[in-house]
Amino acid sequence: MTDLRDALVADLDAGFADVVRTYQGVLLGTAMRLTGHRPAAEDLAAEAFLRAFRALRDYDAERIAALELRGWLVTVLLNEHRNTVRTATRRPALSGVAVPERATPDPGPADLATRTDPDLAAALARLPAVQREAVVLRHVADLDVAGVAAALGVGEGTARSHVSRGLARLRTLLTSPDRSAP
């Protein structure tokens, strides 16, 4: 993706539009698996892109040229998700406020990429946060183990362990006759 980095260096605004077009499906799919709720995932992905753009404004050309965009954007998304969860635990929830999802005439690529099996979504939600994040980063965002480790701020062995344990737990949750058991 050297072309994208070159475009960012040449013209941040136009280059970032290309970055959004290229990675919006990845970020939205990752956000869907993290949140399990389409409107929350859309908000999370949009906020991650906004934070990324703001950060890039302060980067010099050399730093932009050295970025591994996919991993960096997913890390920004993950950090934004953690901030959102942390903030939500500190503020009372609004009750009785229902916001309908917007209707779209035809499913787009992001919709197809983020459709989820309800059983899988429920099982993912039951994983410990670090295992869910590791599995989503590895198998939805398609980061390699080094990318997962960097995004989680852990060593590669620990990242491998989180992914492995998360997958094992998912298998157990999805194949157990009583799926409601913790």
Tell me, what's the pLDDT at 162?
Answer: 93
pLDDT number for residue 28: 93
Residue 176, Ramachandran bin (φ over 0: left; ψ between -120 and 50: alpha; else beta):
beta
**Contact yes or no for 103/5 (Cβ under 8 A):** no
Q: Pick the closest to residue 108 from 21, 13, 46, 10 (CA basis).
A: 21
Q: What is the pLDDT of residues 120-171, one digit of tens each?
A: 778 888 889 899 989 888 888 888 999 889 888 999 999 999 999 999 998 8
Q: Name the burial class of residue 25, with classes exposed (0-12), middle (13-18) and buried (19+) by CB atoms within 10 angstroms of its CB.
A: middle
Q: Range(s) for CATH 1.10.10.10 in the chain?
A: 117-182
Copy the structure tokens of residue 136: 């989503």
pLDDT score recorded for residue 108: 44
Instruction: Give the per-residue pLDDT at 120.
Output: 77
**pLDDT number for residue 109:** 39
Residue type, 1: M
Q: Given this model, what pLDDT does residue 92 score?
A: 59
pLDDT in tens, 103-121: 444 444 344 434 556 777 7
Task: Provide the CATH number for the domain formed by 1-89+111-115 in this structure.
Answer: 1.10.1740.10
Tokens found for residue 38: 């389409």
Q: Other CB atoms closer than 10 Å to residue 109's CB: what's the count?
A: 11
Start-end ranges of CATH 1.10.1740.10 in the chain?
A: 1-89+111-115
Q: What is the pLDDT of residues 75-99, one digit of tens each?
A: 999 999 998 888 877 765 544 444 4
The pLDDT tens digits of the residues spanning 16-65 come to 999 999 999 999 999 998 888 889 999 999 999 999 999 999 999 999 99
The neighbour count for residue 3, using CB atoms within 10 Å, is 10
Greater confidence, 19 or 1?
19
What CATH fold (topology level) applies to the domain 117-182?
Arc Repressor Mutant, subunit A (1.10.10)
Q: What pLDDT shows up at residue 118?
A: 73
The answer to whether residue 7 scores a pLDDT higher than 60 is: yes
